[in-house]
């Protein structure tokens, strides 16, 4: 048994899938869930995702050996003090937020000497679906989980969370907090902004109906992420504000270059951008194949 | 037999797949290929995509009942006069270009009274691969082919090209030329620009290696189209210049709104953009399911 008593605060796609996977592998004795919405918790019991639940954070946390925070980032910062107050000695706390700087500094402020038992985490997994109904035990198989432990982070706590994610099939990597946020701004947060902006732009066009009717496969792939949870992405934007704004700025420069090349009939410039991008994308495909 | 003698000028992914599909369905007696590169043509004979070939356009076109132009758009405009000069009376000419306005006006200029036998076409199919080696007979099954016939277009020519595409499994739709170009600028040309700009932007960042290493599934989907042929997309940009510049301008306004909302901590504005986009994207998924 890896974990005797696990508590999941925020039983959604990620928290629910983690609970399912650990239960399936018989690596956890008891899973307690906590959520704002009792219907979700009843559903989670029904789906055999959790054993029991409490609507009260303190109650849900008390007695747990590992507490996983699966709430949107803005909620995480709000409920951290309550969670921390109820953690039993030696309990390990971790989260699954897509930005790490904001939650690390919030935890640093409220956790005092318990801060060493906090292991910030980010599973790079998910679908455009959300909610416990969409959760499944195999979500993390062959996906990366990035942990961003600090110098003060307890080695055994870090080890336990690493083993927990490895046990559900993930490939666990450690990254520096800032590095994580810069890389994720570029590879995930920026593309989501582009997809949201594109779909919003097309939906406002006169030809809206034909646009959606005649869109090809590439468009479906390209915009799938615009179906992601608006609330979650709202939180990510503000939690990773600076890195995301930098990425947006850089991207705008690149799209301007393309626009200028078309406007100025600059064949050479346009072709060199496309060729450079294709080379990089093909290289990315090769990296993905070899890891 | 739908077509006795078919001539494909530009034997690549699209032209090659069309030839394969028509041959497989035994709807064509003889397929002649023409290409700049003789190795491609030899390969196409070897792969049983075409029966014979000529490096000379006039020779490849002479005697054909249907001529399909499968070359990049800039090439199409260059070779049109040669093709037209060799068309036998009553032959039907069609193309597969992703922008229609430019090729229609080029054809109008050089075709004289043969212009009524030109049926402008655009199969909404393809992969990020290119070349005859990537061609396959099923490419068009359940894909849309947009034809943009004009008032002067001969009814029997239009009917033949419609039947040709339907025979290889496509769903054929007629659209007005300008309408086609506006809709495609928004749903296809603009997303390709965003993907190229994004990959080029990330490839230039300091964290380039980690960026490609830690990118998640959504990123792979989002940037797949950046592996498309730079030469083909270069041509599309200039062929659909005005509509594409309009789309880029509109998109820039939308991405600026997101950026401003993040900068000004305008939660409400950000959330309303994301919600509107999610609603439109979910609606798009439903449209795709029902057609």
**Chain A from 172 to 231: CB within 8 A of any B CB:** 173, 175, 179, 182-184, 186-188, 190-203, 205, 207, 210-216, 218-231
**Chain A from 229 to 268: CB within 8 A of any B CB:** 229-231, 233-234, 237-238, 241, 244-245, 247-255, 257-259, 262-263, 265, 267
Residue A129 in contact with partner chain B when CB distance is under 8 A: no
The answer to whether residues B10 and B58 touch, using CB atoms and an 8 Å cutoff, is no
3-state secondary structure of B6: strand
Q: Tell me which architecture the domain covering B179-290 has in CATH.
A: Orthogonal Bundle (1.10)
**Facing residue for A222 by CB, picked from B195, B276, B283:** B195
Min Cα–Cα distance to chain B from A57, Å: 26
CB under 8 A, 24+ apart: contacts of B263-266: B263/A245, B265/A238
CB pair distance less than 8 Å for B191 and A198: yes
Neighbours of B240 (CB within 10 A): 27
Residues A251-258: what's their mean pLDDT? Answer: 96
In this prediction, residue A289 has a pLDDT band, given cuts at 50, 70 and 90, of low
Task: Give yes or no for residue A128 having a pLDDT over 90.
Answer: no
What DSSP line would sit under A165-179, residue for residue? Answer: HHHTT-EEEE--HHH
> pLDDT value at position A274?
97
Best of B280, B289, B290 to mutate (most A CBs within 10 Å, chain A)? B280
Residue of chain A nearest B269, judged by CA positions: A234
Min Cα–Cα distance to chain B from A167, Å: 20
In this prediction, residue B220 has a pLDDT band, given cuts at 50, 70 and 90, of confident
Q: In what order do the strands lie in the sheet with B52-53?
A: B52-53, B28-34, B3-9, B66-69, B92-95, B118-119
- Domain A3-175 bears CATH identifier 3.40.50.300: no
Task: Give yes or no for residue B291 having a pLDDT over 50.
Answer: no
**Facing residue for B270 by CB, picked from A184, A237, A254:** A237
Reading the block at residue A131, the tokens are: 């909610």
CB pair distance less than 8 Å for A211 and B244: no
CB pair distance less than 8 Å for A211 and B187: yes
Summarize pLDDT for A97-121 with one digit per residue, the tens.
999 999 999 999 999 999 999 999 9
Neighbours of A36 (CB within 10 A): 11
Distance between CA atoms of residues B68 and B119, nearest Å: 10
Question: What average pLDDT does the structure give for chain A?
Answer: 93
CB pair distance less than 8 Å for B214 and A144: yes
Whole-number percent of chain B with pLDDT over 70: 98
In this prediction, residue B129 has a pLDDT band, given cuts at 50, 70 and 90, of confident
Task: Give yes or no for residue B290 having a pLDDT over 60.
Answer: no
Domains A3-175 and A179-290 equal at CATH topology level: no
Summarize pLDDT for B178-210 with one digit per residue, the tens.
999 999 999 999 999 999 999 999 998 888 888
How many residues are there in chain A? 291
CB contacts, 8 Å: A139 with chain B: none
CB pair distance less than 8 Å for B231 and A143: no
Task: Give yes or no for residue A74 having a pLDDT over 80.
Answer: yes
> pLDDT value at position A224?
86
H-type alpha helices, B13-154:
13-24, 38-46, 57-61, 73-86, 101-111
Task: Give yes or no for residue A265 having a pLDDT over 80.
Answer: yes
Min Cα–Cα distance to chain B from A271, Å: 6
**Facing residue for A219 by CB, picked from B187, B259, B276:** B187
Least confident residue range of A142-146, B84-88, B220-224? B220-224
Min Cα–Cα distance to chain B from A97, Å: 15
Residue of chain A nearest B239, judged by CA positions: A262
> pLDDT value at position A291?
47
In this prediction, residue A217 has a pLDDT band, given cuts at 50, 70 and 90, of low
Task: Give yes or no for residue A14 having a pLDDT over 60.
Answer: yes
Summarize pLDDT for B265-280 with one digit per residue, the tens.
999 999 999 999 999 9
**Domain boundaries along the sequence of chain B:** 3-175, 179-290
Residue of chain A nearest B200, judged by CA positions: A277
Summarize pLDDT for B45-58 with one digit per residue, the tens.
999 999 999 999 99
């Amino acid at each position: 048994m890896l974990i005797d008593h696990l508590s999941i605060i925020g039983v959604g796609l990620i928290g629910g899938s983690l609970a399912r996977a650990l239960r399936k592998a018989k690596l956890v004795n008891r899973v307690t869930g906590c959520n704002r919405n009792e219907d979700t918790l009843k559903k989670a019991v029904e789906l055999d995702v959790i054993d029991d639940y409490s609507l009260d954070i303190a109650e849900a946390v008390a007695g747990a050996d590992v507490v996983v925070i699966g709430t949107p980032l803005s909620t995480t910062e709000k409920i951290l003090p309550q969670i921390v107050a109820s953690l039993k000695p030696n309990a390990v706390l971790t989260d699954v937020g897509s930005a790490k700087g904001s939650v690390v500094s919030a935890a640093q402020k409220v956790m005092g000497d318990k801060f060493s038992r906090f292991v910030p985490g980010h599973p790079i997994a998910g679908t455009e679906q959300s909610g416990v109904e969409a959760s499944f035990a195999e979500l993390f198989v062959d996906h990366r989980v990035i942990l961003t432990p600090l110098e003060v982070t307890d080695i055994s706590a870090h080890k336990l969370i690493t083993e927990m994610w490895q046990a559900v099939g993930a490939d666990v990597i450690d990254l520096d907090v800032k590095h994580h946020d810069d890389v994720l701004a570029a590879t995930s947060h920026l593309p989501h902004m582009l997809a949201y902006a594109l779909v919003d732009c097309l939906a406002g066009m006169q030809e809206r109906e034909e646009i959606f009717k005649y869109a090809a496969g590439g468009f479906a792939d390209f915009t799938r992420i615009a179906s992601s949870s608006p609330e979650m992405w709202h939180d990510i934007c503000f939690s990773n504000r600076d890195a995301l704004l930098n990425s947006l700025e850089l991207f705008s420069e690149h799209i301007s270059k393309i626009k200028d090349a078309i406007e100025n009939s600059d064949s050479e410039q346009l072709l060199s951008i496309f060729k450079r991008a294709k080379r990089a994308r093909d290289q990315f495909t090769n990296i993905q194949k070899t890891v």
